[in-house]
Amino acid sequence: MRRFKQCYNPEYYNAIEANVENSDRPPTSLKTISLFPLPNSVFYPGTVLPLHIFEERYRQMIGNAIDSGQWIGMVLLQAGYEEEYNGSPDIHPVGCAGSLEQWTQHDDGKYDIVLRGQSRFRIVREVGDTLYRQAEVELLNSVNDQTLEPSADPYKQLIGKFHAFTSQLPLENAQKVEMDVQDCKTLGEMVDRVAYFFDQPLNDRQHFLEELDVMKRCQQVHDLIDLKQRIIQQSALFSKKGIDSRLN
């Protein structure tokens, strides 16, 4: 049986377990899901991830998901995965599980799919003997979450700051969009969706995924938008002075 390799900082993940234990939501039972390790994809609950599936083992995984409805757990590969990619390279123990929302199978057997994020999870153990990896996982509950109220300060402050950021972008900028959070039921869902909008280094995305405290995640997004706004303002200042900010 293949086993999940615990090649991570135990103190950090002990803190995650403590957050789970202190959550005010009921504990969850173990759930068996498929694992889809990739070196460049991290997504969050309530967001969507389009993927092109071409490897045989993952075609089987998609076929099983179509037939059974089994969730697919996106996990980030650990550094140095290349030599073992075709086997079972080391992976981060916390990922995001998604349900198959859309799929198209092509004549050559490949798939184009869209996953919708459902829940953070922590791998307990790897199981099964399929070509693709499977695991028993613990679904992770958020801490300090709250029902999303458009009149509440956390909602108004975050959406207000996001709109202030996009208002500074040029009309042709691809990020100049409206943030659709109408279907978000909790603050945590909205925070995750706003965070997913921004292009961040993979390690930062992974750390955000691993943070269970919604208020801490919210502050991280505020800090990120503040940084983006300072970059825009600095670029505008350089432009007025005839300086190419890309050279700095």
Contact assessment for residue 33 and residue 97, using Cβ atoms and an 8 Å cutoff? yes
Predicted confidence band at 217 (pLDDT cuts at 50, 70, 90)? very high
Candidate from 47-51, 120-124, 233-237 with smallest mean pLDDT: 233-237
In tens, the pLDDT along 42-83 reads 999 999 999 999 999 999 999 999 999 999 999 999 998 888
Is residue 239 over pLDDT 80? no
- How far is 38 from 52, CA to CA, in rounded Å? 12
Q: Would the pTM count as exceeding 0.85?
A: no
Please give the backbone phi and psi of residue 113, each rounded to the nearest 5 degrees, phi first.
-130, 165
CB atoms within 10 A of CB 28: 15
In tens, the pLDDT along 28-42 reads 579 999 999 999 999
Tokens (6 digits) for 200: 């961040």
How far lies 21's CA from each of 14, 15, 231, 248, in Å?
A: 11, 10, 39, 46
